Structure 1
Amino acid sequence: MIGHSGAFAATLAASHEVVTTADLWYAGRLVAAGLPLVDGQVQQDADDDIRARLTCTIACPTGELVPDGANGLTPFGGELHIRRGVRIPGGAVETVSLGWFRIQQTDAEEAYRRNRAGSWVSGGASIEVEALDRMSAVDDSRLLAAGKPPRGATCLSEIRRLCRGLLPLSTFDVADEAVPAGLVYEESRLEAVAALADALEAKAYAGPEGALTLTPVAPTDPVWTFQGTAAGGLLAVSQVASRDGAYNAVVARGEADGDKPAVQAVAYDVTPNSPTRWDGPYGRVPTFYSSPLIKSVKQAQRAAKTRMDSLIRGRERLYRIEAVPVPFLEPLDSVTVSTPRLRFVGQLVSVDMPLTAEGGAAVYTVRALESGITVLDPTEGGDGDAA
């Protein structure tokens, strides 16, 4: 979660004035501040190596922002810094950064008019912009030759080395480890950075201030509550259901020994009333696990049961919620969602943040464990049972 004041958070619970700013930078120099945004949004997805994408339309009454080489909203080095916030009662304005975005493409529609001297001049332009966060610089800077980490390298030292000079580096609050044995870099610098972050069970991304950031993927305590009340900000909830990863049996086996076949055992999901139970309407959907450490049927049975139990406990549901925009929430933040029918704690997977008040609600995708979802009776408002 991005740092903010309590007054900012409290203002979101009532009707408020939205404040958004867009500044154009080039080569570390501010070119134009307070660009007039017509509309737009910032989309962030924790599952993407380039986490954030900006699409917006900018009005330019003079036409001076029409891209021309290195000038204007140029895709050849231009960056947009986007902030969104509120006017707090009393008049103060507080905003948070939604990111620094490298312009990828523009589509400028410019009109012309005659001035009083009879000359044709710009009558203004509408410029559509597509931009990606600063991890796109890591993606662009592909490795010229395959290679491997130097002797004694750690994951964090390699991430710093691979990204140095491409975007600012921040302090990483992640425990370091040696580089995984046998790691080889191919052409993609971004894939190499992602692999090193995965080894630390973390995500590498360009943070809101444009610096390289590493965040653990493990869920934390919830930092915000979306509630289906007048002040709770929650407008709608829909569930995204999928068969992907919903296995109802685990086959665990060892390795064959000469002419002897590998020992194996099977564990099934026989949870009563489970929609994915083995031999139920869902069907038979096994997954397989093998290990050279499995030498006996008993070991195979234990391994299969352990993994089946883990799959059942770890089953997830995806929810898509529409809510009053909360600009300081980020992917991987944990939130509480409470409706008259459901209550659960989940982790934000994606955030679609509108840039203007006219853009309406923000859209969040939340991943929640089935075991932590409580179904309520909407007619009573009391506690219910876990889903």
Structure 2
Amino acid sequence: MRPVSDRWAATIASSHAIETSVFASLGDELLTMVPIIGGTITYDVTARGRRRCQIAVPLRAEGRTWDPGSDPAHPLAAYGQRLHISTGVKHPGGATESLDQGRFLITSTRTDEVEGVVTVTGSDLMQLMQECRVVGNPWGGFGINTTYQEVIDHLSYVGLKNWWVEDPQILFYSFAPGMVDRNIGAPMDIPERTDRMEPLETLCAAWPADMSVNDSGYLEFRPPVTKPAAQAVARIAGEATGTLITRGRTQARQRVYNDVIARGTDPATGEQRALGIANKATGPLSIFGPYGWITRWYDSPLLTTNAQAQKTAQTLLARGLLYALTEEVTAVPNPALELNDTVDVVTATGGTFRGLISSITLPLSASGGPMTLTVTTETGDT
């Protein structure tokens, strides 16, 4: 959960105004503040680029036209321009508390002259990593003594096709507390035309780590979240003074597995040299029960020991069990909430459901209606 003041919870639960600001930039150059009619930010923990935005801008406002037309330098053109979005609340007494929601690469702009609206769509800066494939690789890959950080150093260059040239468009990254750098321990082949996200995802599975772009626009590596925390950071309740509007539950077998076999393979021969097995042996999702035996296989050349393969198997199993039970919640917009926050959803009929936030749709104006959340956990025994 983003840091907030002591006044935040009381203001969210009462009538309040929403304050949103949007700035457009091109590289390091701040272009202008952008007036908006409304918009949304969508967060999804299962996507490579976890945040997307869409804003509606008046065609003409503040003495200028917001249709970029054929001008590649216009603040809303899709030639590398970015949006910096913050949103928050106005407390009683008039003070505004605003929270950073991230940087977004403009991916498309659509103008409706009849309605007088320019619709701008953007994605987080992971888009740069996805689009920029590896070209001009002088080494072919990395040796066994290369560290995780050194691999990330090379793969985070997204502005030039040759990754060994200093370039101001590096997507900066950070390691959260708990992440320890080490040698990759096995050769890692990076052929030309490789999607540079694939080797990074391979690193994360072997580490293990969670990779995403944070509010500051930095690529961030942090320990994976595989279950709800012991304490919730927020309570979304359905009382008369609460913040919950509706809730509904879903149980499904899709994306759920209760057994993982993680193998370390020799990159030259493909032969197995490390093995880890993890499964759910108790509870409603047990492999020995009526749920059945659903296995996921995972092979990686970076799993060089049985202990490492076992840790990877346990992490993948925990992630695979998370989607057995989900709740779809609509609530008063709260821009302090983030993906992987643990929340309690509470109503008199449904009781308390504690789970992780796996998706958020956040309106950027009061007219945008409520916030939508998906909250997920392993079983209903919370």
Regarding TM over 0.5, the answer is yes
Cross-structure match for 1:154:
147
Can you list the C-alpha shifts for 1:265-320, whole angstroms capped at 9, x where unaligned?
xx99897xx6999896x7xx434599xxxxxxxxxxxxxxxx9xx89x95731111
CA contact (8 A) 1:250 1:268 kept: no
Q: Residues 372, 45 of structure 1: CA spacing in aligned structure 2 closer, same or farther, 3 A cutoff? A: same
**CA distance in 1 between partners of 2:205 and 2:26 (Å):** 33
**CA distance in 1 between partners of 2:64 and 2:198 (Å):** 39
CA contact (8 A) 1:66 1:72 kept: no
Larger of the two Rg values belongs to structure: 1
**CA distance in 2 between partners of 1:106 and 1:289 (Å):** 40
Q: Secondary structure at the match of 1:130?
A: strand
**CA distance in 1 between partners of 2:259 and 2:2 (Å):** 41
The reply to whether residue 75 of structure 1 matches residue 83 of structure 2 is no
Can you list the C-alpha shifts for 1:14-63, whole angstroms capped at 9, x where unaligned?
11111011111112122111x22112111111111111111121114245
Can you list the C-alpha shifts for 1:327-370, whole angstroms capped at 9, x where unaligned?
01111111122222231321111111111111111111111121
Cross-structure match for 1:49:
48
The counterpart of 2:90, out of the listed 87, 90, 100, is 87
Cross-structure match for 2:9:
9
Cross-structure match for 1:184:
189
Equivalent pairs, count: 322
**CA distance in 2 between partners of 1:201 and 1:127 (Å):** 42
Q: How far off is 1:167 after superposition?
A: 2.4
**CA distance in 1 between partners of 2:66 and 2:289 (Å):** 64
The counterpart of 2:224, out of the listed 194, 217, 242, is 217
**CA distance in 2 between partners of 1:24 and 1:78 (Å):** 7
Moved more, 101-110 or 140-149: 140-149
**RMSD of aligned alpha carbons:** 3.3
Q: How far off is 1:247 after superposition?
A: 6.6
Cross-structure match for 2:123:
132
The counterpart of 2:173, out of the listed 164, 169, 172, is 169
TM (normalized to structure 1)?
A: 0.73
Cross-structure match for 2:132:
141
- Structure 2 residue runs of 5 or longer lacking an equivalent are 158-168, 262-278, 298-313
Moved more, 334-343 or 344-353: 334-343
The counterpart of 1:356, out of the listed 360, 365, 370, is 365
**CA distance in 2 between partners of 1:367 and 1:28 (Å):** 38
Q: Secondary structure at the match of 1:170?
A: strand
CA contact (8 A) 1:206 1:212 kept: yes
CA contact (8 A) 1:59 1:126 kept: yes
TM (normalized to structure 2)?
A: 0.74
Moved more, 141-150 or 239-248: 239-248
Q: How far off is 1:234 after superposition?
A: 1.2
Amino acid across the alignment from 1:93: T
**CA distance in 2 between partners of 1:358 and 1:159 (Å):** 42
Amino acid across the alignment from 2:241: A
CA contact (8 A) 2:25 2:75 kept: no
Amino acid across the alignment from 1:131: G
Cross-structure match for 1:334:
342
**CA distance in 1 between partners of 2:197 and 2:219 (Å):** 12
CA contact (8 A) 1:63 1:110 kept: no
Moved more, 333-342 or 349-358: 333-342
**CA distance in 2 between partners of 1:357 and 1:135 (Å):** 29
Amino acid across the alignment from 1:200: W
Cross-structure match for 1:243:
253
- Structure 1 residue runs of 5 or longer lacking an equivalent are 112-123, 252-266, 291-306, 374-387
Q: How far off is 1:189 after superposition?
A: 1.2
Same amino acid, percent of matched pairs:
26
The reply to whether residue 66 of structure 1 matches residue 67 of structure 2 is yes
CA contact (8 A) 1:70 1:77 kept: no
Q: Residues 89, 279 of structure 1: CA spacing in aligned structure 2 closer, same or farther, 3 A cutoff? A: closer
**CA distance in 2 between partners of 1:49 and 1:248 (Å):** 24
Q: Secondary structure at the match of 2:40?
A: strand
Cross-structure match for 2:101:
98
